[in-house]
Amino acid sequence: MKLTIWTALITAVSAQSYRLTDSYTGNNFFSKFDFFTGDDPNHGFVDYQSQSSAQSRGLISSTSDYVIIAADATNVYPRSARGRPSVRIESINSYTTGLFVADIEHMPGNACGIWPAFWTLGSDPWPQNGEIDIIEEINLNANNQYTLHSGDGACSISGYSGAGRISSGNCQTTNNGNVVNTAGCTIQPPSVNNYGNNFNNNNGGTYVMQWTNSVINFWFFQRGQQPETLTSGSPDVGQLGTPDASFNGCDIGSHFRDNRLIINTNFCGDWGKLTNSINKYLYLTNHFSQLVEMACTHHSVRW
């Protein structure tokens, strides 16, 4: 995985160009992240590791060209355990607007109980400064979806959505601090091979997010189809084509700010454990940890 962050420069004629702000690559990658070790806020069967513990367990590694972020896919953990050892990293720097480019060759594959995510999050309480889900899916779902969560105050998307389809338009998650909508607003993109096994079988690809004060756009490019402008010294968003998803209609600038980048692999959790009848049965009959064992021992659970 390689991440590059570009911030916008607005010229006198209102054209937008970008300059490089941060580069998360190779051996410098993990020095730019904090390792979250607290209890999972989403109640997953997971035990997030410190950097030293993740290193000693072989869950993280890096070279000059790439990094690997994994969960334990070898050992068996009983339901009485805190959970399966995994990694959740959060960038030290926070961002408000920019162009975010992620070159990813592999992500956790499709399996019941798996919940990987690459996302951004503002400060507590959730989600008053916004949450942006760039890559997030669960279980056997084959295609990625893009989702925004905003805090108090009206925020909804409508009208132009790029090439994608709006499946949920209300981004507002809280009202007077009380959670009233956990789904957020979601756009289903048309792109293929953008998640899980299909993504991995195609050697991954490049995710791009353009975040401005008025719109958040997303693109995915399969391996070999990334526009050359993304590797130039000043990428031109105008050369990226129609966005896979375009979030319009909400006052982005007032709802999304000071977000940290997060990469993690969770198991089960509030979303993953109750999304179908089989998962619900296994969870309620105290057999859900067995589902996690099957998911991990038969699949490559790594970024």
Model-level pTM? Answer: 0.92
Question: What's the confidence (pLDDT) of residue 284?
Answer: 41
Query: Using H for helix, E for strand and C for coil, what is the string for the chain?
Result: CEEEEEEEEECCCCCEEEEEEEEECHHHCHHHEEECCCCCCCCCCEEECCHHHHHHCCCEEECCCCEEEECCCCCCCCCCCCCEEECEEEEEEEECCEEEEEEECCCCCCCCCEEEEEEEECCCCCCCCCEEEEEECCCCCCCCCEEEEECCCCCECCCCECECEEEECECECEECCEECCCCCEEEECCCCCCCHHHHHHCCCEEEEEEECCCCEEEEEEECCCCCHHHHCCCCCHHHCCCCCEEECCCCHHHHCCCEEEEEEEEECHHHHCCCCHHHHHHHHCCCHHHHHHHHHHCCCCEC
Distance from C-alpha of 194 to C-alpha of 172, rounded to nearest angstrom: 26
Using the structure block, give the residue that is written with the tokens 């619900």.
280
Distance from C-alpha of 3 to C-alpha of 25, rounded to nearest angstrom: 6
Residue 191 phi, psi (nearest 5): -65, 150
Stated length of the chain: 303
Question: What's the confidence (pLDDT) of residue 268?
Answer: 86
Domains annotated on the chain, with CATH: 2-297 (2.60.120.200)
Distance from C-alpha of 283 to C-alpha of 54, rounded to nearest angstrom: 27
Distance from C-alpha of 244 to C-alpha of 187, rounded to nearest angstrom: 9
Please identify every residue annotated as catalytic. 131, 136
State the Cα torsion 117-121-127-129 to the nearest 10°: -150
Compute how many other C-beta atoms are within 10 angstroms of the C-beta atom of residue 271: 19
**pLDDT tens, per residue, the chain with 303 residues:** 877 777 765 443 335 678 898 999 989 999 999 999 999 999 999 999 999 999 999 999 999 988 999 999 888 888 889 999 999 999 999 999 999 999 999 999 988 888 999 999 999 999 999 999 999 998 888 999 999 999 999 999 998 999 999 999 999 999 999 999 999 999 999 988 999 999 999 999 999 999 999 999 999 999 999 999 998 888 999 999 999 999 999 999 999 999 999 999 999 888 755 444 444 434 444 445 555 555 555 457 999
Question: What's the confidence (pLDDT) of residue 111?
Answer: 83
